[in-house]
Chain A
């Protein structure tokens, strides 16, 4: 019933916007960088006379309908010189613009026209953008510029401690983030167990993080969307850039294939093998590398092809006994086509996989696991008029899950060959979304996504008594794996279980005056894949499992409200948001669940729920010599798994408990000061409540070992986390006749050498035999130098 009303509402809104018809013409085109022809995402095109405007889409395209007439249009983009141009619109016109980068010099007046003004009006909320140039200046550990680490400085984004993998958005889990690189899903965003992310900053053009009010275009994960676009490459001239750092080095080449029509980009990054390990004279190594590639070609005015690829691996090797390799690979072909002046489409065909391999020589086996998917997306941007833009499309994904395969390395091996049953699934979605200006003060973005998930047949399906794969032993008061009654087979064309979800999305903005607005949003999202992990933070060997008969899809409802304000002619901006979300069917694991090489994961999981709520504040200083922001988040993130029946206790006695990434207070301050043309100084300060953990409250001796007895799950806290980082960027400037531009970054991480607790563990001291608490801290003060060049 609810959806019928929604459909009526949609109809009404359409109707409302199409009543006042008059002669309209379309202005459309692509906005690019003048030096490289790189398309620019999110450029503002304003038409002050008509008090309207448009923003370029993910492929640099814009389209706007205006009544016949003469207009002065303004095009502005952060970091670029604005353009003003008078046009006489008496027919449909295609007009491409090229923007020139603003000179770095402070003395020149850079026109910073109403950049934020439009955002005040837009219903878009809970979205953070970080430009690559901002990210490059932030002080970071080992001087390694890192996309995900930078996100952690934003409100509502945190992680489960230094050196943990992934990131958590608004109290959501790591596997609930949809990470897209050029529209392709990335399953593991971490190198070196989470110290670095898989994104090479040199190859990235733009990134956007949606924490709430997520448009209907996105789905499949419930917590957030990190949408990252790679650069297309320079189609004007050949360029190279790179950097040499403490951990890794980077090199990227780009240039035209056909001048002004086609370009290529290829970028590689590698850490130094044996980096930390060589010191101890042994044959161990630990390193990572990744490769980003892109080809783009403009077939004609209306058609463009883009081929992009990513390949990354982490490799660990310990004294020939142990070899571990894992990483993502992505290949993606896209076709941009402009149907008419106001319909832009993108068709993507994407292959993406995640591989985890292990070779344990001393035990005598190899282990392989992974996930593969083939994804076809067709997305339409339809510019109806200057008040209404529609986005609609469809997405189909076919998944193949390989939970693991064990192969003995030779005949002498004591290990038998074993294949965990492959799983298959189809995920489909159609969506319709409208960006709609309802009046001068009121605008909305609303839409609906209909997603379906089909779990397909597989070789072995377990059958359990009463369909309960987890058994409760009331006498001993424990959960355990139920016995498998029989195993049946079904064909791959058969649907074992189907799920449908209506996912309404709505975001509203009401402009109070030129500088202030209030916004509200609601979104429902469904997630059909689950990362099977019962450690505090995911590990690379965790496998993804599809929903099915026993594991249900996670379904989120999120509500957010916010207040947005620009001060002092946009020198400062303030964003305050409150959010509440709950997620059904968040799985949890029974005590003693063994997830490794488990062919029947359903026997160790129970369906539970999670919720999170909080308040975020972001105060930014956007212009002047000193820029930066202060971000503060006050939040709570919890989870619970009640018993299935009244006599069962559930997990943690069915009580809510803090998630591993719950942080009550999370404060970060980031500042950047331009001292002069050559030097720029940057600083971060971070303060966070310590992570939730569990301390023992007793101990006993059993079979000769001391066993700690633990209290309420995650009922204790590690000590507070705080640190200060500093960095300085030095740009010597380009010398006459030389083409090499370069800059140096000098960094100091954790300046006052705070021994932040990575963990507190409890153990028996092997010398004294006494129990003790041990704090492990990962990073003390770390200086770093990075050299970057461009020519």
Chain B
């Protein structure tokens, strides 16, 4: 909701049929840093035993091929002491097929890479299921874009935070909190002018913690769907919850989180 209010300044750019051009800007290159994508997602109706964690390194801005990290040791320890070792597969992915997810239980992540130890702990957050999906056609600046609304019912008794993933040709991440919608049936919203009839859109709702919501809030503002300029917020360093215990200054990017999720596929009409 809050984010929607922010769409306004983009208007300005629309109004004055401004001119966009790809330009050459020389950029400095910073030292590579470890990136940890430790997202344990347990879909409703599955055992959630197959999980993977992806390790890579940052690369210069214009060179995007993923730099996989291959020789790390990766392990998750549950609150009850059970250990899950993740073995290297390929492309920086480490997998475990015997994971045992348990709602609201705490888990510890430990990664050892180049003699440095990285740790984090987080709870597995539950989520309410998706109720239904609705399609309308009055979105965007033209008022004719297809809009997808994925409804869910927010539980009233607690504070909830949500991550929505909409995958069409591109992937879109939307985050919501229930400050102004507590206990109501409300929707995750997706609209852009590329959505067309016959598209098959994958929709996911994931339960996330407050601190992961805050992390994603900053992360998203770094990427931005808008075009820069006077109404942009200042860039920030996005620090996650994974701590380098050996050398805190050499902090990693990424986050360790565990979410329950529901998903559905929607055929655009």
**Chain A positions near chain B (C-beta within 8 angstroms):** 160-161, 163-165, 192-195, 276-277, 280, 282-284, 286, 316, 318-322, 324, 358, 360, 362-363, 365, 367, 406, 414-416, 418, 475-478, 480, 534-537, 539-541, 589, 591-592, 594, 596-597, 660, 694-711, 713-714, 755, 758-762, 764-766, 769-780
Q: Is A777 touching B64 in the complex (CB atoms < 8 A)?
A: no
> What's the Cα separation between A418 and B223 when bound, in Å?
30
Chain B 1-36 residues near chain A, CB threshold 8 A: 1-2, 4-9, 11-13, 15-25, 27-30, 32-33, 35
Q: Is B27 touching A774 in the complex (CB atoms < 8 A)?
A: no
Q: Among B39, B182, B217, point to the contact of A416 (Cβ < 8 A).
A: B182
Q: Is B4 touching A536 in the complex (CB atoms < 8 A)?
A: no
**B246 beta carbon closer than 8 Å to chain A:** no
Q: Is B234 touching A414 in the complex (CB atoms < 8 A)?
A: no
Residues on the B chain within 8 Å of A780, using CB:
19
**B139 beta carbon closer than 8 Å to chain A:** yes
Residues on the B chain within 8 Å of A477, using CB:
239, 248, 251
Residues on the A chain within 8 Å of B61, using CB:
696-699, 708-709, 762, 771
**Chain B positions near chain A (C-beta within 8 angstroms):** 1-2, 4-9, 11-13, 15-25, 27-30, 32-33, 35, 37, 39, 56-62, 64, 66, 136, 138-144, 147, 170-171, 173, 179-187, 189, 211, 214-215, 217-219, 221-224, 227-241, 243, 248, 251, 253-254
Residues on the B chain within 8 Å of A592, using CB:
214-215, 217-218, 221, 236
- Nearest residue, chain A, Cβ from B35: A700
Residues on the B chain within 8 Å of A694, using CB:
234-235
Apart from A362-B139, A416-B182, A775-B21: 15 A-B pairs, beta carbons within 8 A: A284-B143, A360-B4, A414-B184, A416-B181, A534-B233, A535-B230, A697-B61, A699-B60, A705-B171, A709-B30, A709-B58, A709-B61, A770-B62, A772-B22, A774-B20
Q: Is B37 touching A702 in the complex (CB atoms < 8 A)?
A: yes
Instruction: For the complex formed, measure the closest distance between the CB of A196 and the CB atoms of chain B, giving whole angstroms.
Output: 12
8 closest Cβ contacts across the A-B interface? A319-B143, A537-B230, A759-B228, A414-B186, A761-B228, A710-B235, A591-B236, A592-B218
Residues on the B chain within 8 Å of A362, using CB:
136, 138-139, 147, 189
Q: Is A163 touching B16 in the complex (CB atoms < 8 A)?
A: yes
- Nearest residue, chain B, Cβ from A709: B58
* Given A163-B229, A320-B138, A771-B61, also A596-B30 (CB < 8 A): no
* Given A477-B248, A702-B37, also A707-B143 (CB < 8 A): no
> What's the Cα separation between A282 and B139 when bound, in Å?
12
Instruction: For the complex formed, measure the closest distance between the CB of A315 and the CB atoms of chain B, giving whole angstroms.
Output: 12
A-B contact pairs, 12 of them (CB 8 A): A276-B16, A277-B15, A318-B11, A362-B147, A406-B180, A414-B184, A592-B218, A695-B25, A696-B61, A700-B56, A707-B219, A711-B28
- Nearest residue, chain B, Cβ from A541: B5
* Given A695-B27, A700-B253, A703-B39, also A771-B18 (CB < 8 A): no
Q: Is A711 touching B30 in the complex (CB atoms < 8 A)?
A: yes
Instruction: For the complex formed, measure the closest distance between the CB of A350 and the CB atoms of chain B, giving whole angstroms.
Output: 30
* Given A284-B143, A319-B138, A594-B217, also A703-B35 (CB < 8 A): no
Q: Is A707 touching B223 in the complex (CB atoms < 8 A)?
A: yes
Q: Is A286 touching B11 in the complex (CB atoms < 8 A)?
A: yes
Q: Is B22 touching A708 in the complex (CB atoms < 8 A)?
A: no
Residues on the A chain within 8 Å of B22, using CB:
765, 772-775
> What's the Cα separation between A87 and B120 when bound, in Å?
90
Q: Is B253 touching A709 in the complex (CB atoms < 8 A)?
A: yes
Q: Is B237 touching A710 in the complex (CB atoms < 8 A)?
A: yes
> What's the Cα separation between A775 and B19 when bound, in Å?
8
Instruction: For the complex formed, measure the closest distance between the CB of A635 and the CB atoms of chain B, giving whole angstroms.
Output: 19
Q: Is B223 touching A708 in the complex (CB atoms < 8 A)?
A: yes
- Nearest residue, chain B, Cβ from A766: B170
Q: Is B217 touching A773 in the complex (CB atoms < 8 A)?
A: no
Residues on the B chain within 8 Å of A160, using CB:
230
Residues on the B chain within 8 Å of A192, using CB:
12, 15
Instruction: For the complex formed, measure the closest distance between the CB of B24 and the CB atoms of chain A, giving whole angstroms.
Output: 7
> What's the Cα separation between A776 and B236 when bound, in Å?
22
Q: Is B16 touching A779 in the complex (CB atoms < 8 A)?
A: yes
Q: Is B25 touching A773 in the complex (CB atoms < 8 A)?
A: yes
Instruction: For the complex formed, measure the closest distance between the CB of A757 and the CB atoms of chain B, giving whole angstroms.
Output: 8
* Given A280-B142, A283-B143, also A696-B27 (CB < 8 A): yes
> What's the Cα separation between A539 and B236 when bound, in Å?
20
> What's the Cα separation between A778 and B9 when bound, in Å?
14
Residues on the B chain within 8 Å of A766, using CB:
170
Chain B contact surface mostly: loop
- Nearest residue, chain B, Cβ from A769: B64
Q: Is A704 touching B171 in the complex (CB atoms < 8 A)?
A: yes
Q: Is B4 touching A363 in the complex (CB atoms < 8 A)?
A: yes
Q: Is B8 touching A324 in the complex (CB atoms < 8 A)?
A: yes
Q: Among B16, B21, B27, point to the contact of A697 (Cβ < 8 A).
A: B27
Q: Is A770 touching B64 in the complex (CB atoms < 8 A)?
A: yes
Residues on the A chain within 8 Å of B37, using CB:
701-703
Instruction: For the complex formed, measure the closest distance between the CB of B132 and the CB atoms of chain A, giving whole angstroms.
Output: 13
Q: Is A698 touching B30 in the complex (CB atoms < 8 A)?
A: yes
Q: Is B222 touching A699 in the complex (CB atoms < 8 A)?
A: no
Residues on the B chain within 8 Å of A710, using CB:
222, 235-237
Q: Is B2 touching A594 in the complex (CB atoms < 8 A)?
A: yes
> What's the Cα separation between A589 and B236 when bound, in Å?
11
Instruction: For the complex formed, measure the closest distance between the CB of A767 and the CB atoms of chain B, giving whole angstroms.
Output: 11
Instruction: For the complex formed, measure the closest distance between the CB of A651 and the CB atoms of chain B, giving whole angstroms.
Output: 9
Q: Is B228 touching A760 in the complex (CB atoms < 8 A)?
A: yes
Residues on the A chain within 8 Å of B243, using CB:
475-476
Q: Is B59 touching A699 in the complex (CB atoms < 8 A)?
A: yes
Q: Is B58 touching A415 in the complex (CB atoms < 8 A)?
A: no
* Given A362-B139, A363-B4, also A700-B229 (CB < 8 A): no
Instruction: For the complex formed, measure the closest distance between the CB of A768 and the CB atoms of chain B, giving whole angstroms.
Output: 10
> What's the Cα separation between A132 and B254 when bound, in Å?
57
Residues on the A chain within 8 Å of B241, using CB:
476
> What's the Cα separation between A406 and B238 when bound, in Å?
30
Q: Among A161, A319, A535, A779, point to the contact of B142 (Cβ < 8 A).
A: A319
> What's the Cα separation between A415 and B29 when bound, in Å?
45
* Given A416-B184, A702-B35, also A276-B23 (CB < 8 A): no
- Nearest residue, chain A, Cβ from B243: A475
> What's the Cα separation between A194 and B229 when bound, in Å?
13
Instruction: For the complex formed, measure the closest distance between the CB of B214 and the CB atoms of chain A, giving whole angstroms.
Output: 6
Find the residue from B170, B181, B230 having the highest chain A CB count within 10 A.
B230
Residues on the B chain within 8 Å of A697, using CB:
27-30, 61
Q: Among A541, A591, A702, point to the contact of B8 (Cβ < 8 A).
A: A541
- Nearest residue, chain B, Cβ from A778: B18
- Nearest residue, chain B, Cβ from A417: B180
> What's the Cα separation between A192 and B15 when bound, in Å?
10
Q: Is A164 touching B25 in the complex (CB atoms < 8 A)?
A: no
Residues on the B chain within 8 Å of A283, using CB:
143
Q: Is A284 touching B184 in the complex (CB atoms < 8 A)?
A: no
* Given A363-B1, A363-B4, also A478-B239 (CB < 8 A): yes
* Given A320-B138, A539-B9, also A775-B23 (CB < 8 A): yes
Residues on the A chain within 8 Å of B253, using CB:
700, 702, 707, 709
Q: Among B13, B19, B173, point to the contact of A703 (Cβ < 8 A).
A: B173
> What's the Cα separation between A480 and B237 when bound, in Å?
14
Residues on the B chain within 8 Å of A774, using CB:
20-23, 227
Q: Is A758 touching B18 in the complex (CB atoms < 8 A)?
A: yes
Instruction: For the complex formed, measure the closest distance between the CB of B14 and the CB atoms of chain A, giving whole angstroms.
Output: 8
> What's the Cα separation between A186 and B20 when bound, in Å?
34
Instruction: For the complex formed, measure the closest distance between the CB of A159 and the CB atoms of chain B, giving whole angstroms.
Output: 9
Q: Is A596 touching B248 in the complex (CB atoms < 8 A)?
A: no
* Given A591-B236, A694-B235, A760-B23, also A414-B143 (CB < 8 A): no
- Nearest residue, chain A, Cβ from B152: A414
Residues on the A chain within 8 Å of B7, using CB:
322
Q: Among A319, A358, A698, A773, point to the contact of B60 (Cβ < 8 A).
A: A698
> What's the Cα separation between A713 and B5 when bound, in Å?
26
Q: Is B142 touching A596 in the complex (CB atoms < 8 A)?
A: no
Instruction: For the complex formed, measure the closest distance between the CB of A607 and the CB atoms of chain B, giving whole angstroms.
Output: 17
Residues on the B chain within 8 Å of A591, using CB:
218, 236-238
- Nearest residue, chain A, Cβ from B214: A592
